[in-house]
Chain A
Amino acid sequence: MNPYVLTTLILSLGLGTTLTFASSHWLLAWMGLEINTMAIIPLMAQQHHPRATEATTKYFLTQATAAAMILFASTMNAWTMGDWNINQISHPLATTTVTLALALKIGLAPMHFWLPEVLQGLSLTTGLVLSTWQKLAPFALILQISQNTNPALLTTLGVMSALVGGWGGLNQTQLRKLLAYSSIAHLGWMIIILQFMPALTLLNLTIYITMTSTMFLSLKIMASTKINSLALAWPKTPTLTTLIMLSLLSLGGLPPLTGFMPKWLILQELTKQDLPITATIMAMSALLSLFFYLRLCYTTTLTTFPNTNNTTSPWRLKSTQITLPLTITIILTLMLLPITPAITTMF
Protein backbone atom coordinates (compact mmCIF):
# COMPACT_ATOMS: atom_id res chain seq x y z
CA MET A 1 0.00 0.00 0.00
CA ASN A 2 1.14 3.50 -0.81
CA PRO A 3 2.62 5.14 2.33
CA TYR A 4 0.55 8.31 1.80
CA VAL A 5 -2.65 6.29 1.67
CA LEU A 6 -1.54 4.28 4.68
CA THR A 7 -0.90 7.51 6.59
CA THR A 8 -4.31 8.86 5.62
CA LEU A 9 -6.00 5.69 6.76
CA ILE A 10 -4.16 5.49 10.08
CA LEU A 11 -4.76 9.17 10.80
CA SER A 12 -8.44 8.65 10.03
CA LEU A 13 -8.57 5.70 12.41
CA GLY A 14 -7.29 8.09 15.06
CA LEU A 15 -9.71 10.78 13.98
CA GLY A 16 -12.73 8.49 14.22
CA THR A 17 -11.96 7.33 17.73
CA THR A 18 -11.10 10.86 18.83
CA LEU A 19 -14.38 12.22 17.45
CA THR A 20 -16.39 9.59 19.28
CA PHE A 21 -14.44 10.24 22.47
CA ALA A 22 -14.87 13.97 22.26
CA SER A 23 -18.50 14.21 21.27
CA SER A 24 -21.51 14.57 23.50
CA HIS A 25 -23.85 14.49 20.51
CA TRP A 26 -25.08 11.25 18.99
CA LEU A 27 -24.62 12.38 15.41
CA LEU A 28 -20.95 13.23 15.84
CA ALA A 29 -20.35 10.02 17.77
CA TRP A 30 -21.95 8.08 14.92
CA MET A 31 -19.71 9.92 12.45
CA GLY A 32 -16.67 8.90 14.45
CA LEU A 33 -17.72 5.25 14.41
CA GLU A 34 -18.30 5.36 10.67
CA ILE A 35 -14.90 6.97 10.03
CA ASN A 36 -13.35 4.20 12.10
CA THR A 37 -15.05 1.52 10.02
CA MET A 38 -14.18 3.17 6.70
CA ALA A 39 -10.55 3.64 7.63
CA ILE A 40 -9.87 0.07 8.70
CA ILE A 41 -11.45 -1.58 5.66
CA PRO A 42 -8.54 -1.16 3.17
CA LEU A 43 -6.15 -2.19 5.94
CA MET A 44 -8.10 -5.40 6.38
CA ALA A 45 -8.28 -6.17 2.67
CA GLN A 46 -4.70 -5.22 1.82
CA GLN A 47 -3.53 -8.82 1.58
CA HIS A 48 -5.64 -9.32 -1.58
CA HIS A 49 -6.58 -12.76 -0.41
CA PRO A 50 -10.11 -14.16 -0.84
CA ARG A 51 -10.38 -14.88 2.85
CA ALA A 52 -9.28 -11.38 3.80
CA THR A 53 -11.79 -9.95 1.34
CA GLU A 54 -14.53 -12.09 2.81
CA ALA A 55 -13.60 -11.02 6.33
CA THR A 56 -13.61 -7.39 5.26
CA THR A 57 -17.04 -7.73 3.71
CA LYS A 58 -18.42 -9.37 6.84
CA TYR A 59 -16.88 -6.70 9.02
CA PHE A 60 -18.24 -3.92 6.85
CA LEU A 61 -21.76 -5.37 6.84
CA THR A 62 -21.93 -5.87 10.62
CA GLN A 63 -20.42 -2.49 11.42
CA ALA A 64 -22.66 -0.70 8.93
CA THR A 65 -25.72 -2.44 10.39
CA ALA A 66 -24.72 -1.48 13.90
CA ALA A 67 -24.01 2.11 12.91
CA ALA A 68 -27.35 2.38 11.13
CA MET A 69 -29.08 1.05 14.24
CA ILE A 70 -27.28 3.62 16.39
CA LEU A 71 -28.31 6.41 14.03
CA PHE A 72 -31.89 5.13 13.95
CA ALA A 73 -32.15 4.81 17.73
CA SER A 74 -30.59 8.18 18.46
CA THR A 75 -32.88 9.87 15.93
CA MET A 76 -35.84 8.16 17.54
CA ASN A 77 -34.71 9.35 20.94
CA ALA A 78 -34.25 12.89 19.65
CA TRP A 79 -37.71 12.80 18.12
CA THR A 80 -39.56 11.53 21.17
CA MET A 81 -37.47 13.07 23.93
CA GLY A 82 -35.99 16.07 22.12
CA ASP A 83 -32.45 15.39 23.27
CA TRP A 84 -29.35 14.52 21.23
CA ASN A 85 -27.09 14.20 24.25
CA ILE A 86 -25.32 10.87 24.57
CA ASN A 87 -25.66 10.40 28.30
CA GLN A 88 -29.21 11.75 28.34
CA ILE A 89 -30.64 9.01 26.15
CA SER A 90 -33.79 8.03 27.98
CA HIS A 91 -36.43 6.43 25.78
CA PRO A 92 -36.38 2.71 26.69
CA LEU A 93 -36.70 1.49 23.10
CA ALA A 94 -33.93 3.79 21.89
CA THR A 95 -31.66 2.86 24.79
CA THR A 96 -32.11 -0.86 24.24
CA THR A 97 -31.54 -0.52 20.50
CA VAL A 98 -28.37 1.49 21.05
CA THR A 99 -27.09 -1.03 23.59
CA LEU A 100 -27.70 -3.92 21.20
CA ALA A 101 -26.09 -2.01 18.33
CA LEU A 102 -22.99 -1.27 20.38
CA ALA A 103 -22.92 -4.90 21.49
CA LEU A 104 -22.98 -5.88 17.81
CA LYS A 105 -20.13 -3.48 17.15
CA ILE A 106 -17.82 -4.95 19.77
CA GLY A 107 -19.09 -8.53 19.29
CA LEU A 108 -20.94 -9.45 22.47
CA ALA A 109 -22.94 -12.68 22.47
CA PRO A 110 -25.49 -13.28 20.97
CA MET A 111 -24.25 -10.80 18.33
CA HIS A 112 -20.75 -12.28 18.29
CA PHE A 113 -20.88 -14.59 15.27
CA TRP A 114 -18.96 -12.27 12.97
CA LEU A 115 -15.98 -11.78 15.27
CA PRO A 116 -14.17 -15.18 15.06
CA GLU A 117 -14.64 -15.38 11.31
CA VAL A 118 -13.50 -11.84 10.67
CA LEU A 119 -10.48 -12.16 12.92
CA GLN A 120 -9.55 -15.44 11.29
CA GLY A 121 -9.32 -13.74 7.90
CA LEU A 122 -6.91 -10.99 8.95
CA SER A 123 -3.19 -10.72 9.42
CA LEU A 124 -2.05 -10.67 13.03
CA THR A 125 -1.25 -6.95 12.98
CA THR A 126 -4.64 -5.97 11.63
CA GLY A 127 -6.23 -8.41 14.05
CA LEU A 128 -4.43 -6.62 16.84
CA VAL A 129 -5.84 -3.27 15.72
CA LEU A 130 -9.29 -4.79 15.33
CA SER A 131 -9.39 -6.29 18.81
CA THR A 132 -7.85 -3.33 20.63
CA TRP A 133 -8.22 0.08 19.01
CA GLN A 134 -11.55 -0.63 17.35
CA LYS A 135 -13.11 -1.49 20.70
CA LEU A 136 -12.30 1.89 22.23
CA ALA A 137 -14.87 4.07 20.47
CA PRO A 138 -17.88 1.77 21.10
CA PHE A 139 -16.80 1.41 24.71
CA ALA A 140 -16.69 5.17 25.15
CA LEU A 141 -20.37 5.21 24.13
CA ILE A 142 -21.27 2.17 26.23
CA LEU A 143 -19.75 3.78 29.31
CA GLN A 144 -21.67 6.99 28.68
CA ILE A 145 -25.05 5.32 28.33
CA SER A 146 -24.39 2.78 31.10
CA GLN A 147 -26.61 4.53 33.64
CA ASN A 148 -29.68 4.51 31.40
CA THR A 149 -29.56 0.99 30.01
CA ASN A 150 -31.74 -1.90 31.02
CA PRO A 151 -29.99 -3.88 33.81
CA ALA A 152 -31.51 -7.21 32.75
CA LEU A 153 -30.24 -6.69 29.21
CA LEU A 154 -26.71 -5.92 30.39
CA THR A 155 -26.67 -8.96 32.67
CA THR A 156 -27.93 -11.21 29.88
CA LEU A 157 -25.32 -9.90 27.45
CA GLY A 158 -22.56 -10.28 30.03
CA VAL A 159 -23.38 -13.80 31.18
CA MET A 160 -24.04 -15.03 27.64
CA SER A 161 -20.78 -13.57 26.34
CA ALA A 162 -18.74 -15.11 29.13
CA LEU A 163 -20.35 -18.52 28.54
CA VAL A 164 -20.24 -18.38 24.74
CA GLY A 165 -16.66 -17.12 24.82
CA GLY A 166 -15.72 -20.12 26.92
CA TRP A 167 -17.73 -22.71 25.06
CA GLY A 168 -16.90 -21.44 21.58
CA GLY A 169 -13.17 -21.64 22.12
CA LEU A 170 -13.17 -25.22 23.40
CA ASN A 171 -12.73 -27.07 20.13
CA GLN A 172 -10.77 -24.52 18.10
CA THR A 173 -7.38 -25.18 16.60
CA GLN A 174 -6.92 -21.76 15.02
CA LEU A 175 -5.23 -19.23 17.27
CA ARG A 176 -7.00 -16.15 15.90
CA LYS A 177 -10.38 -17.77 16.51
CA LEU A 178 -9.27 -18.66 20.03
CA LEU A 179 -8.30 -15.05 20.60
CA ALA A 180 -11.65 -13.94 19.23
CA TYR A 181 -13.50 -16.17 21.68
CA SER A 182 -11.24 -14.96 24.45
CA SER A 183 -12.19 -11.43 23.44
CA ILE A 184 -15.90 -12.30 23.66
CA ALA A 185 -15.47 -13.78 27.13
CA HIS A 186 -13.54 -10.77 28.41
CA LEU A 187 -16.14 -8.40 26.95
CA GLY A 188 -18.75 -10.34 28.90
CA TRP A 189 -16.88 -9.60 32.12
CA MET A 190 -16.72 -5.92 31.21
CA ILE A 191 -20.43 -5.71 30.49
CA ILE A 192 -21.57 -7.59 33.59
CA ILE A 193 -20.01 -4.99 35.90
CA LEU A 194 -20.98 -1.98 33.78
CA GLN A 195 -24.15 -1.09 35.67
CA PHE A 196 -22.56 -1.41 39.11
CA MET A 197 -19.12 0.08 38.66
CA PRO A 198 -18.18 1.53 35.23
CA ALA A 199 -14.64 2.20 36.50
CA LEU A 200 -14.06 -1.55 36.66
CA THR A 201 -15.26 -1.89 33.06
CA LEU A 202 -12.61 0.60 32.02
CA LEU A 203 -9.98 -1.16 34.10
CA ASN A 204 -10.88 -4.52 32.61
CA LEU A 205 -10.81 -3.05 29.10
CA THR A 206 -7.34 -1.59 29.65
CA ILE A 207 -5.96 -4.81 31.04
CA TYR A 208 -7.63 -6.89 28.34
CA ILE A 209 -6.11 -4.68 25.66
CA THR A 210 -2.67 -5.11 27.22
CA MET A 211 -3.02 -8.87 27.45
CA THR A 212 -4.41 -9.40 23.98
CA SER A 213 -1.73 -7.12 22.50
CA THR A 214 0.86 -9.37 24.14
CA MET A 215 -0.71 -12.44 22.59
CA PHE A 216 -1.00 -10.96 19.09
CA LEU A 217 2.54 -9.55 19.15
CA SER A 218 4.04 -12.82 20.41
CA LEU A 219 2.16 -14.83 17.80
CA LYS A 220 3.48 -12.41 15.21
CA ILE A 221 7.04 -13.04 16.33
CA MET A 222 6.35 -16.77 16.36
CA ALA A 223 4.70 -16.39 12.92
CA SER A 224 2.09 -18.98 13.81
CA THR A 225 -1.67 -18.93 13.44
CA LYS A 226 -2.44 -22.54 14.29
CA ILE A 227 -1.90 -24.55 17.44
CA ASN A 228 0.27 -27.12 15.70
CA SER A 229 2.60 -24.55 14.20
CA LEU A 230 2.85 -22.86 17.60
CA ALA A 231 3.71 -26.23 19.10
CA LEU A 232 6.68 -26.53 16.74
CA ALA A 233 7.76 -22.89 17.01
CA TRP A 234 9.45 -23.04 20.40
CA PRO A 235 13.05 -23.25 19.08
CA LYS A 236 12.60 -19.79 17.58
CA THR A 237 12.65 -18.09 20.99
CA PRO A 238 12.37 -20.47 23.92
CA THR A 239 12.13 -17.59 26.39
CA LEU A 240 9.18 -16.08 24.58
CA THR A 241 7.50 -19.48 24.56
CA THR A 242 7.66 -19.57 28.34
CA LEU A 243 6.34 -16.03 28.52
CA ILE A 244 3.50 -16.96 26.13
CA MET A 245 2.48 -19.63 28.59
CA LEU A 246 2.44 -17.13 31.44
CA SER A 247 0.51 -14.61 29.31
CA LEU A 248 -2.07 -17.25 28.48
CA LEU A 249 -2.50 -18.00 32.15
CA SER A 250 -2.84 -14.27 32.75
CA LEU A 251 -5.57 -14.12 30.10
CA GLY A 252 -7.23 -17.00 31.88
CA GLY A 253 -7.14 -15.01 35.10
CA LEU A 254 -4.80 -16.90 37.38
CA PRO A 255 -3.12 -15.22 40.32
CA PRO A 256 -0.45 -13.84 40.75
CA LEU A 257 -0.65 -12.51 37.18
CA THR A 258 -2.31 -9.30 35.97
CA GLY A 259 -5.35 -11.05 34.50
CA PHE A 260 -6.50 -12.01 37.97
CA MET A 261 -6.99 -8.39 38.98
CA PRO A 262 -10.13 -7.50 36.96
CA LYS A 263 -11.79 -10.84 37.66
CA TRP A 264 -11.07 -10.50 41.36
CA LEU A 265 -12.38 -6.94 41.59
CA ILE A 266 -15.45 -7.74 39.48
CA LEU A 267 -16.35 -10.79 41.53
CA GLN A 268 -15.86 -8.79 44.71
CA GLU A 269 -18.12 -6.01 43.46
CA LEU A 270 -20.80 -8.48 42.32
CA THR A 271 -20.72 -10.08 45.76
CA LYS A 272 -20.97 -6.70 47.42
CA GLN A 273 -24.02 -5.96 45.27
CA ASP A 274 -25.63 -9.10 46.68
CA LEU A 275 -25.52 -11.06 43.42
CA PRO A 276 -23.85 -14.33 44.44
CA ILE A 277 -25.48 -16.37 41.66
CA THR A 278 -24.27 -14.07 38.88
CA ALA A 279 -20.82 -14.03 40.45
CA THR A 280 -20.78 -17.84 40.60
CA ILE A 281 -21.85 -18.21 36.97
CA MET A 282 -19.17 -15.76 35.87
CA ALA A 283 -16.51 -17.56 37.88
CA MET A 284 -17.58 -20.91 36.42
CA SER A 285 -17.55 -19.52 32.90
CA ALA A 286 -13.97 -18.39 33.47
CA LEU A 287 -13.15 -22.08 33.95
CA LEU A 288 -14.39 -22.81 30.44
CA SER A 289 -12.05 -20.19 29.03
CA LEU A 290 -9.27 -21.45 31.26
CA PHE A 291 -9.60 -24.87 29.69
CA PHE A 292 -8.63 -23.72 26.23
CA TYR A 293 -5.90 -21.44 27.54
CA LEU A 294 -4.48 -24.41 29.42
CA ARG A 295 -4.69 -26.59 26.35
CA LEU A 296 -2.77 -23.95 24.43
CA CYS A 297 -0.18 -23.78 27.23
CA TYR A 298 0.14 -27.53 27.15
CA THR A 299 0.84 -27.78 23.42
CA THR A 300 2.99 -24.66 23.30
CA THR A 301 5.28 -25.08 26.26
CA LEU A 302 4.70 -28.14 28.36
CA THR A 303 5.27 -30.69 25.63
CA THR A 304 8.07 -31.15 23.09
CA PHE A 305 6.87 -32.56 19.85
CA PRO A 306 9.12 -34.97 17.94
CA ASN A 307 10.92 -33.28 15.09
CA THR A 308 14.14 -33.53 13.12
CA ASN A 309 17.33 -32.50 14.83
CA ASN A 310 18.16 -29.37 12.85
CA THR A 311 14.85 -27.68 13.71
CA THR A 312 16.07 -26.94 17.22
CA SER A 313 18.54 -24.26 16.21
CA PRO A 314 16.61 -21.21 14.91
CA TRP A 315 17.09 -19.41 18.24
CA ARG A 316 20.68 -18.76 17.13
CA LEU A 317 19.43 -16.34 14.49
CA LYS A 318 18.59 -12.89 15.78
CA SER A 319 15.02 -11.86 15.12
CA THR A 320 14.59 -8.88 12.82
CA GLN A 321 11.21 -7.90 14.21
CA ILE A 322 10.73 -4.99 16.57
CA THR A 323 10.33 -6.37 20.07
CA LEU A 324 10.03 -3.24 22.21
CA PRO A 325 6.18 -3.05 22.22
CA LEU A 326 6.02 -6.73 23.10
CA THR A 327 8.51 -6.25 25.91
CA ILE A 328 6.42 -3.51 27.46
CA THR A 329 3.07 -5.25 27.13
CA ILE A 330 4.44 -8.56 28.37
CA ILE A 331 5.70 -6.95 31.57
CA LEU A 332 2.33 -5.27 32.07
CA THR A 333 0.55 -8.55 31.33
CA LEU A 334 2.47 -10.48 33.93
CA MET A 335 3.32 -8.15 36.77
CA LEU A 336 0.56 -5.68 37.54
CA LEU A 337 -1.25 -7.56 40.29
CA PRO A 338 0.95 -6.38 43.22
CA ILE A 339 0.16 -2.75 42.42
CA THR A 340 -3.62 -3.29 42.21
CA PRO A 341 -4.37 -0.41 44.65
CA ALA A 342 -2.39 2.01 42.46
CA ILE A 343 -4.19 0.76 39.33
CA THR A 344 -7.64 1.06 40.87
CA THR A 345 -7.01 4.65 41.88
CA MET A 346 -6.21 5.45 38.25
CA PHE A 347 -9.73 4.60 37.09
Chain B
Amino acid sequence: MFYVEILSMLLLVLGLVAVASNPAPYYAALGLVLAAAAGCCVLVGHGGSFLSLVLFMIYLGGMLVVFAYSAALAAEPYPESWFDLSVFSYVVVYILGLMVVGLCFFEGWYDGFWVVDELKEFSLLRGDFGGVALMYSLGGWVLVVCGWVLLLTLFVVLELTRGLARGALRAV
Protein backbone atom coordinates (compact mmCIF):
# COMPACT_ATOMS: atom_id res chain seq x y z
CA MET B 1 0.00 0.00 0.00
CA PHE B 2 2.84 2.33 0.85
CA TYR B 3 4.36 1.85 -2.59
CA VAL B 4 1.01 2.56 -4.25
CA GLU B 5 0.89 5.79 -2.27
CA ILE B 6 4.37 6.79 -3.37
CA LEU B 7 3.53 5.88 -6.95
CA SER B 8 0.35 7.94 -7.01
CA MET B 9 2.12 10.96 -5.51
CA LEU B 10 4.81 10.63 -8.14
CA LEU B 11 2.18 10.42 -10.87
CA LEU B 12 0.41 13.47 -9.41
CA VAL B 13 3.58 15.55 -9.66
CA LEU B 14 4.45 14.19 -13.09
CA GLY B 15 0.94 14.86 -14.34
CA LEU B 16 1.19 18.47 -13.23
CA VAL B 17 4.59 18.75 -14.91
CA ALA B 18 2.95 17.39 -18.05
CA VAL B 19 0.38 20.20 -17.91
CA ALA B 20 2.75 22.97 -16.92
CA SER B 21 5.33 22.22 -19.60
CA ASN B 22 2.99 23.73 -22.18
CA PRO B 23 2.42 20.98 -24.77
CA ALA B 24 -0.47 20.99 -27.28
CA PRO B 25 -3.91 21.15 -25.60
CA TYR B 26 -4.66 17.46 -26.23
CA TYR B 27 -1.64 16.38 -24.26
CA ALA B 28 -2.12 19.01 -21.57
CA ALA B 29 -5.66 17.75 -20.97
CA LEU B 30 -4.29 14.22 -20.78
CA GLY B 31 -1.74 15.34 -18.18
CA LEU B 32 -4.51 16.98 -16.17
CA VAL B 33 -6.52 13.75 -16.22
CA LEU B 34 -3.47 11.85 -15.02
CA ALA B 35 -2.93 14.35 -12.21
CA ALA B 36 -6.60 14.14 -11.20
CA ALA B 37 -6.58 10.36 -11.14
CA ALA B 38 -3.36 10.22 -9.15
CA GLY B 39 -4.58 12.88 -6.71
CA CYS B 40 -7.75 10.91 -6.10
CA CYS B 41 -5.65 7.80 -5.45
CA VAL B 42 -3.72 9.77 -2.82
CA LEU B 43 -7.04 10.74 -1.22
CA VAL B 44 -8.15 7.11 -1.15
CA GLY B 45 -4.91 6.16 0.53
CA HIS B 46 -5.58 8.63 3.31
CA GLY B 47 -9.09 7.47 3.96
CA GLY B 48 -11.36 9.61 1.81
CA SER B 49 -12.71 6.99 -0.57
CA PHE B 50 -16.16 8.46 -1.24
CA LEU B 51 -14.75 11.99 -1.41
CA SER B 52 -12.18 10.93 -3.98
CA LEU B 53 -14.85 9.13 -6.05
CA VAL B 54 -17.04 12.23 -6.14
CA LEU B 55 -14.06 14.47 -6.90
CA PHE B 56 -12.87 12.19 -9.69
CA MET B 57 -16.25 11.98 -11.38
CA ILE B 58 -17.02 15.69 -11.21
CA TYR B 59 -13.50 16.70 -12.16
CA LEU B 60 -13.36 14.31 -15.08
CA GLY B 61 -16.80 15.45 -16.19
CA GLY B 62 -15.48 19.00 -16.32
CA MET B 63 -12.24 17.83 -17.94
CA LEU B 64 -14.19 16.11 -20.69
CA VAL B 65 -15.78 19.41 -21.65
CA VAL B 66 -12.45 21.21 -21.43
CA PHE B 67 -10.86 18.51 -23.55
CA ALA B 68 -13.58 18.68 -26.18
CA TYR B 69 -13.32 22.45 -26.43
CA SER B 70 -9.54 22.62 -26.43
CA ALA B 71 -9.39 19.87 -29.05
CA ALA B 72 -11.96 21.70 -31.16
CA LEU B 73 -10.29 25.09 -30.86
CA ALA B 74 -6.74 23.95 -31.42
CA ALA B 75 -7.01 21.52 -34.30
CA GLU B 76 -3.33 21.24 -35.15
CA PRO B 77 -2.08 18.67 -37.65
CA TYR B 78 1.17 18.17 -35.74
CA PRO B 79 0.49 18.76 -32.04
CA GLU B 80 3.55 19.26 -29.84
CA SER B 81 4.08 16.39 -27.47
CA TRP B 82 6.47 16.27 -24.53
CA PHE B 83 9.29 15.03 -26.69
CA ASP B 84 9.50 18.10 -28.90
CA LEU B 85 12.40 20.28 -27.92
CA SER B 86 10.42 23.33 -26.81
CA VAL B 87 8.26 21.30 -24.45
CA PHE B 88 10.96 18.89 -23.36
CA SER B 89 13.16 21.71 -22.07
CA TYR B 90 10.32 22.78 -19.77
CA VAL B 91 9.88 19.21 -18.59
CA VAL B 92 13.57 18.92 -17.73
CA VAL B 93 13.63 22.29 -15.95
CA TYR B 94 10.51 21.51 -13.90
CA ILE B 95 11.70 18.06 -12.89
CA LEU B 96 15.12 19.37 -11.90
CA GLY B 97 13.47 22.16 -9.92
CA LEU B 98 11.21 19.68 -8.16
CA MET B 99 14.22 17.55 -7.28
CA VAL B 100 16.00 20.57 -5.80
CA VAL B 101 12.92 21.48 -3.75
CA GLY B 102 12.54 17.86 -2.71
CA LEU B 103 16.13 17.74 -1.52
CA CYS B 104 15.69 20.95 0.45
CA PHE B 105 12.60 19.72 2.26
CA PHE B 106 13.61 16.07 2.48
CA GLU B 107 12.34 14.35 5.66
CA GLY B 108 10.54 17.46 6.77
CA TRP B 109 7.33 17.59 4.83
CA TYR B 110 5.71 14.22 5.33
CA ASP B 111 4.34 14.35 8.83
CA GLY B 112 1.95 11.75 10.08
CA PHE B 113 -1.44 13.44 10.33
CA TRP B 114 -2.49 13.58 6.73
CA VAL B 115 -5.75 11.92 7.53
CA VAL B 116 -8.79 12.86 5.51
CA ASP B 117 -11.21 10.76 7.55
CA GLU B 118 -10.65 10.69 11.28
CA LEU B 119 -13.56 8.33 11.93
CA LYS B 120 -11.78 5.38 10.38
CA GLU B 121 -11.91 2.95 13.30
CA PHE B 122 -14.86 2.06 15.56
CA SER B 123 -17.30 4.21 13.69
CA LEU B 124 -20.54 3.30 12.00
CA LEU B 125 -20.42 6.22 9.60
CA ARG B 126 -17.52 7.25 7.43
CA GLY B 127 -16.47 10.87 7.69
CA ASP B 128 -17.03 11.67 4.02
CA PHE B 129 -20.54 10.17 4.01
CA GLY B 130 -21.26 12.16 7.16
CA GLY B 131 -20.10 15.24 5.31
CA VAL B 132 -22.65 14.61 2.58
CA ALA B 133 -25.42 14.33 5.16
CA LEU B 134 -24.26 17.55 6.83
CA MET B 135 -24.21 19.31 3.48
CA TYR B 136 -27.90 18.58 2.99
CA SER B 137 -28.98 19.27 6.58
CA LEU B 138 -26.91 21.98 8.24
CA GLY B 139 -25.54 23.39 5.02
CA GLY B 140 -28.87 23.59 3.23
CA TRP B 141 -28.82 27.29 2.49
CA VAL B 142 -25.25 27.25 1.30
CA LEU B 143 -26.32 24.48 -1.07
CA VAL B 144 -29.08 26.76 -2.37
CA VAL B 145 -26.52 29.52 -2.89
CA CYS B 146 -24.24 27.09 -4.71
CA GLY B 147 -27.11 26.13 -7.01
CA TRP B 148 -27.80 29.80 -7.67
CA VAL B 149 -24.13 30.33 -8.50
CA LEU B 150 -24.24 27.52 -11.03
CA LEU B 151 -27.26 29.15 -12.67
CA LEU B 152 -25.49 32.50 -12.59
CA THR B 153 -22.41 31.00 -14.21
CA LEU B 154 -24.59 29.57 -16.96
CA PHE B 155 -26.08 33.01 -17.63
CA VAL B 156 -22.64 34.64 -17.51
CA VAL B 157 -21.20 32.23 -20.05
CA LEU B 158 -24.23 32.51 -22.30
CA GLU B 159 -24.18 36.28 -22.13
CA LEU B 160 -20.48 36.39 -22.96
CA THR B 161 -20.68 34.00 -25.88
CA ARG B 162 -24.11 34.56 -27.44
CA GLY B 163 -24.51 36.16 -30.83
CA LEU B 164 -22.01 35.12 -33.46
CA ALA B 165 -20.40 38.37 -34.52
CA ARG B 166 -21.86 40.41 -31.66
CA GLY B 167 -20.50 38.16 -28.93
CA ALA B 168 -17.95 39.70 -26.62
CA LEU B 169 -15.52 36.87 -27.19
CA ARG B 170 -15.47 37.40 -30.95
CA ALA B 171 -15.30 41.16 -30.98
CA VAL B 172 -14.29 42.69 -34.28
Interface residues of chain A, those whose CB is within 8 Å of chain B, are 1, 5, 8-9, 12, 15, 19, 28, 31, 34-35, 38-39, 41-42, 45-46, 48-50, 52-53, 56
Tier of interface size on chain B: 20 to 34
Q: With an 8 A cutoff between CB atoms, is B103 at the interface?
A: no
Would you list which residues of chain B between 121 and 172 have a CB under 8 Å from chain A?
A: 142, 145-146, 148-149, 151-153, 155-156, 158-160, 163, 166-169, 171-172
In the complex, which residue of chain A has the Cβ closest to the Cβ of B167? A48
Of the candidates B149, B159, B163, the one whose C-beta lies within 8 Å of that of A42 is B159
Q: Is the CB of B171 within 8 A of A31?
A: no
A19-B145, A28-B142, A41-B160 known; A8 and B152 CB under 8 Å? yes
Task: Note all chain A residues with C-beta closer than 8 A to B146.
Answer: 31
Number of A-B residue pairs having CB atoms within 8 Å of each other in the complex: 58
Assess the B156–A42 pair: CB atoms within 8 A. yes
5 nearest A-B residue pairs (beta carbon): A42-B159, A45-B168, A50-B171, A53-B168, A12-B152
Report A-chain residues with C-beta under 8 Å of the C-beta of B167: 48
CA distance A211 to B163 in the complex (A): 38
> Is the CB–CB distance between B159 and A5 below 8 Å?
yes
In the complex, how many angstroms separate the beta carbon of B96 from the nearest chain A beta carbon? 25
Report the nearest A residue to B168, measured CB to CB. A45
- Looking at the assembled complex, report how far the CB atom of A82 sits from the nearest CB atom of chain B, in whole angstroms: 12
CA–CA, A339 and B49, complex, Å: 63
> Which label, helix, strand, loop or mixed, suits the secondary structure of the A interface?
helix
Give the Cβ gap from B12 to chain A, nearest Cβ, in Å.
18
Report whether B159 and A1 are in contact in the complex, using a CB–CB cutoff of 8 Å. yes
A42 and B171 alpha carbons, distance in the complex (Å): 14
Tell me the B13-51 residues at the A interface (CB within 8 Å).
Answer: none
Assess A12 versus B172: contact at CB under 8 Å? Given A5-B155, A39-B156, A42-B155. Answer: no
For B169, what are the chain A residues with a Cβ–Cβ distance below 8 Å? 53
- Beta-carbon nearest neighbor of A4 in chain B: B155
- Determine the chain B residues whose CB is within 8 A of the CB of A34 once the complex forms: 149
Query: Known pairs A5-B158, A38-B156, A46-B168. 18 more at Cβ < 8 A?
Result: A5-B159, A9-B155, A9-B159, A12-B148, A15-B145, A28-B142, A31-B142, A35-B149, A35-B152, A38-B153, A39-B152, A39-B156, A45-B160, A48-B163, A48-B168, A48-B171, A50-B171, A53-B171
